[in-house]
Amino acid sequence: MDLIGQPAATPATGPTIIDGNQATFMQDVIEASRQIPVLVDFWATWCGPCKTLTPTLEKVVTAAGGRVRLVKIDVDANRALVAQLSQLGLPLQSVPTVAAFWQGQIADIFQGGLPESEVRRFVEALLKMAGGTMPAADLLAAARAAQEEGDIESAAELYQAMLQEEPEKPEAWGGLIRCFLAAGREEEAEALLAEVPAKIVDHAEVAGARSALLLAIEGKQASGQLRELEARLAADADDHEARYELATALNATDRRAEAAAALLDIMKRQRGWNEDAARLQLLKFFEAWGLDDPATMAARRKLSALLFS
């Protein structure tokens, strides 16, 4: 259905998650969808995937902040409704089935269990169709969650969606650059960094991504020399240059605690070596990892103990 010219969705004033049935379907779904997009979750008590999908739907709908409603329909308790909808062409032979309604008609549908990132993408597409968007804070949370789960593609798409809405969002720029880095695409990350608006170029999120990029480039050059560097240190424990390069290589392979330990070891052996290069590199690590990263906090405590001992 062509929705051009239809009114944009407005946030719901009532409950956003409800249990529906045959008696309330017209009011809860068809009529309500003229004001707000409505997801209908057709489920059953015996359905294993439903037990995972329904909580995910509830989480995503709650995060949408009243911009979409979820109506849950138990297919076994509403067989007459299921038969009626099936006659209208809605495939309900298997569950879970999720149908999206907007302006009184079916706008989209999916069947089977989906991961949270895919459910968010489905809801975001529905909201765009209805003239709305997911709240930026929830897009950011979803992007970071996808990134932590290793779903770099979904994270990048979410960051890009944020930038379409807010071109000067530093968290989105920093996150997108890190996605390119995680995919091993340093040149594209560098090109993206050059496009960051001047207004936010020194923001902590962007600065952290910049440090991560520089360390990735340095580490790529050193990571192939791990055995050689370890051999140099075995021959001479005071080869600070080898230990410094080893720290960079370890960081490139995400061995953060070991990387920090190598730099701290240099500082213990020779405070101020090479114009304080070890400490400055460690601070660069902190910036790249993030100030609230467990590796940062652990290494910072050790650095403080060393500096003030």
Q: What's the pLDDT score for residue 268?
A: 94
Tell me, yes or no, if 50 is annotated catalytic. Answer: yes
Cα 201 versus chain centre, distance: 22
Please give the pLDDT value at position 2. 29
Distance from chain centroid for Cα 20:
32
Q: Exactly one of 29, 32, 50, 260 is catalytic; which is it? A: 50
**What pLDDT does 132 receive?**
63
Q: What is the reported pLDDT for 126?
A: 87
- Distance, in Å, from the CA atom of 72 to the CA atom of 57, rounded to the nearest integer, reads 10
179 given a catalytic annotation: no
Which of 238-245's residues contact partners 24+ apart within 8 Å by CB, and which partners? 238/269, 238/270, 240/266, 240/269, 240/270, 240/273, 240/274, 240/278, 241/274, 244/274, 244/277, 244/278, 244/281
Q: How far apart (Å, rounded) are the C-alpha atoms in residues 122 and 174?
A: 25
pLDDT at 5: 33
Query: Can you give the pLDDT at residue 245?
Result: 92
Contact 179, 152 (CB under 8 A): yes
Angle between helices 204-222 and 186-193 (to 10 degrees): 150
In three state form, how does the secondary structure of the chain look?
A: CCCCCCCCCCCCCCCCEEECCCCCHHHHHHHHHHCCCEEEEEECCCCHHHHHHHHHHHHHHHHCCCCCEEEEEECCCCHHHHHHHHHCCCCCCCCCEEEEEECCEEEEEEECCCCHHHHHHHHHHHHHHCCCCCCHHHHHHHHHHHHHCCCHHHHHHHHHHHHHHCCCCHHHHHHHHHHHHHCCCHHHHHHHHCCCCHHHCCCHHHHHHHHHHHHHHHHHHHHHHHHHHHHHHHHCCCCHHHHHHHHHHHHHCCCHHHHHHHHHHHHHHCCCHHHHHHHHHHHHHHHHHCCCCHHHHHHHHHHHHHHCC
Q: What is the mean pLDDT of each run of 10 residues along the chain (309 residues)?
A: 36 76 94 93 94 93 87 95 83 88 89 88 84 66 83 86 84 93 91 93 90 85 80 95 93 92 96 94 91 89 86
What domains sit in the chain, N to C, each tagged with a CATH number?
17-129 (3.40.30.10), 136-201 (1.25.40.10), 220-307 (1.25.40.10)
Please identify which of the residues 36, 39, 40, 47 carries the catalytic annotation.
Answer: 47
Count of positions (residues) in the chain: 309
**Per DSSP, what are the bridge partners of residue 17?**
70
Give CA–CA dist 144/205, Å, rounded.
Answer: 13
Under 8 Å between Cβ of 13 and 78 = no
Q: What is the pLDDT of residue 197?
A: 93
Asked whether the beta carbons of 211 and 248 are under 8 A apart, the reply is: no
pTM over 0.85: no
